[in-house]
Structure 1
Amino acid sequence: MAHQPSEPGTTGTARRPGKKATRYAVPVAVAAVAVASVGLVPALADGGDPDLPDITAQELVEKIAASDVEHLSGTVKISSDLGIPGLGGGSDQNGGLFGGHSERPEEDGGEAAPQDGTSPADPSAKLPELVGGEHTLRVAFDGPDKQRVSVVEDTSEFTVVHNDGDLWSYDSASNTVFHAELPEPPKGREHGEGMPGSLTPREAAEKALAAVDDTTSVTVDGTTEVAGRDAYVLAIAPEDAADSTVDAVRIAVDAENGTPLRVTLDARGAGEPVLEAGYTKVDFGKPDADRFAFTPPEGAEVTEAEKLKERHSEKLNGLPGLDGFAGLGEDVEIIGEGWDSVVRVELPEGAMGGDKGLESKEAQSLLDAFTEPVEGDFGQGRVVSTTLVNALLTDDGTLYVGAVTKDGLLKAAESD
């Protein structure tokens, strides 16, 4: 990928329609970026990259917004290295990416499904495990009502199928199935967003664009080739954010149809992207209908879920990687602005581990291995640091977390 330095005049700002816009209203957010006339000077191809017509950042964002691709299938490679010990990758030594389950059911010598009322095939628990290492996804989309995503490991596979109002997921390692009836998706959600935990380049790109505000620069950063297709590179970067650990989010956009083909997240001071999701193969033809049909395999244990409820938080819109705190309700606050923002969470009673809490021998062993003690006006606590995200847990059960430096995190906690 060619990374060109920004020329004078290529950096611009864009405002969202308001901080309360939900992350699902991506077409609105994209349009808002375009209206702001960002990046009016085009960047050209460099070196051996494709020689494409000039385009400005405004025109490229408009191209993404106007993309009407509804049919797609292909292979997505996801790689991430956040610098967190123990999240190294997808080795099958401990049950593959999903861990803890043998490939065979118990009667054949494998491991039984958990007896706590959950299902090993529940995608809400499985797909977040993609956060570490390298993983391969096979995907197929046919409009907003039909999607299929399979996470492929050496000796196991986890598949999620959305077909109209039904969500099915299958964990081959434990031979278990999870089924749920989906609610009607909110207007504006499409391109597979009904798939819980989807990590396709389009969804990653839409989340990045939804984060654009007046603290962000948007520029064209040359051209590249992804999965055999020519693409422009759109760079979204913090502007005047002293404490942010984010260098830039770069989106490779199909030059023909405006589909995001690859998204990379670069952290300041890191030699390689800390997160990359991109197609290695892509086909824009209509997938066969039978790819979205699902019948539980013979002998599989099926868990029926109650109808899933739509959950999202306007409060956390636009904070990269932090929308997982959406379910914590009114105990979540935001300190700071833009890319320097920090999330403050009052943990519920008992979250510190019961009576002994962090004073237990087991907890102290983990804390000593992965955190360092700190103190300040907030009292005493522990900091865990990664390449991208830093988190502070105080002794009184307050959690501060953000894509900011350790000093920026402590500064936010001091100001609280």
Structure 2
Amino acid sequence: MAPYGSDDTTSDDSMADTDMAAGRRKAARYVVPVAVVGVAAATIGLVPALADSGDPDLPKISAQQLINKIAASDVQQMSGTVRFSTNLGLPNLGGLESGLLSGANKGGDGSSADPKSKLTELLSGSHTLRVAADGPDRQKVSLIESAAEYSLIHDGKDVWGYDSKSNEVYHGTADQNGERQREKTPATPKDFADEALKSVDDTTSVTVDGTVQVAGRDAYKLLIKPKQSSTTVGAISIAVDARTGMPLKFTLTPASGGAAVVDAGFTQVSFAKPAASTFDFTPPKGAKVTQGDEAAKAPRESAPKSGKDLAKGRDGFDVLGKGWNSIATFDSGSKGGLPSGAGGGDMGGFLGSLGDHVTGKFGKGTVFSTRLVNALITDDGKVYVGTVTKNALVKAADAAR
């Protein structure tokens, strides 16, 4: 496909209405699985609507046309800065929660530059990302920290990860890691928007909610709202660039109100071709280099993105309900409920102190809550998890009896 030529290019293409089924299939082709929103982005129904007049003044467009515009977007060359914030409402454990998240993806002999360990940091707090792309074979994402920088670079057959703080380098090949790494890198609002639009049905309304400017560019606002009442998801707002169709900002707010759970938006963006040197990388002198095949040998357990991921490989995995009220359930195999720590440590008691104890026809259990995802672990080892309320989990457990 040809790259988007210039920021000054105009388009005379008209966005004709298409039937709902065709639009849904087209949108589904552009899925990029991403952490966090894997659970939240359930299924989306379409309600065509016209954009209200606003500032900037843009031609009216229906929700279906705007979704088609996102699906047809073919931005091959771009660079910019993304401000990324995640507020799941995890308990404050004095930094322990960050260690647990990163440790889940890092084996004892793994590299701190391995993307699977480093990018879990995006699951909490606020971050600044610099992103660049030049076609399908060249991408770069840099996580900017106060006194350090982490970069993930895909250049042809090579995939490099570099952590300046530890001076460690991860090296893999595109055939081995390229597409898979990009799928797991929530770098831009488009990553989240594609995930949110991957499945469409009648459990959600989708409307155009006026216009807005993001990073100095005119954009339409696509508003996605669940019709179901038991979900923890309040709404998803996507600012879509009026010219290119590329999502510029993604915001997911919880049904409980307050700050966004996920807020990712460009603060600066350009569609000019990045300099070739942007994607050059040579391991610094003295850096420890870990090859991808070596990292694969290190013991590692990927952090789950959703209830379905938690249930992979489990016997009796099932999904209850549909749409935003979907609940994944499986048997953890841990009879007696929460696990105990090794060496006699009371890990179960520690974990239990972080949750809410509940009872029902199913018996007793503990609910662990965030502002988006809730999970119920019963005393007989059953697990129920989804972007639903605590009461919905208890009802599901009761009904399963």
TM-score for the superposition, normalised by structure 1: 0.76
- Which deviates more, 158-167 or 114-123? 114-123
Counterparts of 1:64 and 1:395 in 2: how far apart (Å)?
A: 45
TM-score for the superposition, normalised by structure 2: 0.79
Counterparts of 2:290 and 2:392 in 1: how far apart (Å)?
A: 44
CA, structure 1 residues 87+219, in 2 after alignment: closer, same or farther (shift >3 Å)? farther
**TM-fit CA distance, 1:215:** 1.3
| Contact 1:144/1:194 (<8 A) preserved | no
CA, structure 1 residues 257+193, in 2 after alignment: closer, same or farther (shift >3 Å)? farther
Structure 1 counterpart of 2:127, from 105, 121, 135: 135
**TM-fit CA distance, 1:277:** 0.5
Counterparts of 1:87 and 1:145 in 2: how far apart (Å)?
A: 40
Cα deviation code 1:259-282 (max 9, x no counterpart): 100000011131332211110000
Structure 2 counterpart of 1:254, from 207, 220, 241: 241
Aligned-partner residue type, residue 86 of structure 2: S
**TM-fit CA distance, 1:117:** 1.8
| Contact 1:84/1:386 (<8 A) preserved | yes
Counterparts of 1:405 and 1:13 in 2: how far apart (Å)?
A: 30
Do structure 1's residue 409 and structure 2's residue 396 form an aligned pair? no
**TM-fit CA distance, 1:296:** 1.1
CA, structure 1 residues 349+296, in 2 after alignment: closer, same or farther (shift >3 Å)? farther
Cα deviation code 1:118-166 (max 9, x no counterpart): 1111111221221111100000011221110011110111111111222
Counterparts of 1:353 and 1:269 in 2: how far apart (Å)?
A: 27
SS at match of 1:231: strand
Query: How do 1:51-130 and structure 2 match up within 5 A?
Result: 51-86=57-92, 116-130=108-122
The count of residues paired between Structure 1 and Structure 2 equals 361
Aligned-partner residue type, residue 194 of structure 1: R
| Contact 2:307/2:328 (<8 A) preserved | no
Aligned-partner residue type, residue 289 of structure 1: A
Aligned-partner residue type, residue 280 of structure 2: A
**TM-fit CA distance, 1:321:** 5.7
| Contact 1:122/1:178 (<8 A) preserved | yes
Structure 1 counterpart of 2:212, from 217, 224, 231: 224
| Contact 2:364/2:378 (<8 A) preserved | yes
Counterparts of 2:45 and 2:373 in 1: how far apart (Å)?
A: 31
For 1:280, the equivalent position in structure 2 comes to 267
Do structure 1's residue 335 and structure 2's residue 320 form an aligned pair? yes
Query: How do 1:1-40 and structure 2 match up within 5 A?
Result: 16=24, 23=31, 38-40=46-48
Report 1 or 2 for greater relative contact order, CA contacts < 8 Å, sequence distance ≥ 6: 2
Query: How do 1:346-365 and structure 2 match up within 5 A?
Result: 346-347=331-332, 360-365=345-350
Do structure 1's residue 203 and structure 2's residue 194 form an aligned pair? no
| Contact 1:77/1:134 (<8 A) preserved | yes
For 2:40, the equivalent position in structure 1 comes to none
Aligned-partner residue type, residue 350 of structure 2: S
Aligned-partner residue type, residue 410 of structure 1: V
**TM-fit CA distance, 1:384:** 1.2
Counterparts of 1:292 and 1:97 in 2: how far apart (Å)?
A: 31
Counterparts of 2:65 and 2:187 in 1: how far apart (Å)?
A: 25
For 1:109, the equivalent position in structure 2 comes to none
| Contact 2:112/2:168 (<8 A) preserved | yes
Do structure 1's residue 41 and structure 2's residue 25 form an aligned pair? no
SS at match of 1:306: helix
**TM-fit CA distance, 1:249:** 1.0
Counterparts of 1:125 and 1:383 in 2: how far apart (Å)?
A: 27
Counterparts of 1:358 and 1:23 in 2: how far apart (Å)?
A: 44
Aligned-partner residue type, residue 145 of structure 1: D
| Contact 1:67/1:258 (<8 A) preserved | yes
| Contact 1:247/1:266 (<8 A) preserved | yes
Counterparts of 1:334 and 1:358 in 2: how far apart (Å)?
A: 35
**TM-fit CA distance, 1:328:** 2.3
For 1:289, the equivalent position in structure 2 comes to 276
Do structure 1's residue 153 and structure 2's residue 156 form an aligned pair? no
Counterparts of 1:37 and 1:339 in 2: how far apart (Å)?
A: 11
CA, structure 1 residues 409+72, in 2 after alignment: closer, same or farther (shift >3 Å)? same
**TM-fit CA distance, 1:367:** 2.3
SS at match of 1:74: strand
| Contact 1:249/1:266 (<8 A) preserved | yes
Counterparts of 2:58 and 2:253 in 1: how far apart (Å)?
A: 25
Counterparts of 1:377 and 1:21 in 2: how far apart (Å)?
A: 42
**TM-fit CA distance, 1:396:** 3.1
Stretches of structure 2 that go unaligned for 5 or more consecutive residues are 1-18, 35-43, 297-303
CA, structure 1 residues 381+139, in 2 after alignment: closer, same or farther (shift >3 Å)? same
SS at match of 1:183: helix
Counterparts of 2:341 and 2:257 in 1: how far apart (Å)?
A: 38
Aligned-partner residue type, residue 115 of structure 2: P
| Contact 1:13/1:213 (<8 A) preserved | no
| Contact 2:249/2:265 (<8 A) preserved | yes
**TM-fit CA distance, 1:325:** 1.0
Counterparts of 1:351 and 1:306 in 2: how far apart (Å)?
A: 38
Stretches of structure 1 that go unaligned for 5 or more consecutive residues are 1-11, 27-35, 101-113, 310-319
CA, structure 1 residues 118+139, in 2 after alignment: closer, same or farther (shift >3 Å)? same
| Contact 1:77/1:137 (<8 A) preserved | yes
Aligned-partner residue type, residue 340 of structure 1: N
Cα deviation code 1:182-211 (max 9, x no counterpart): 33799xx7xx97353233111100000103
| Contact 2:338/2:377 (<8 A) preserved | no
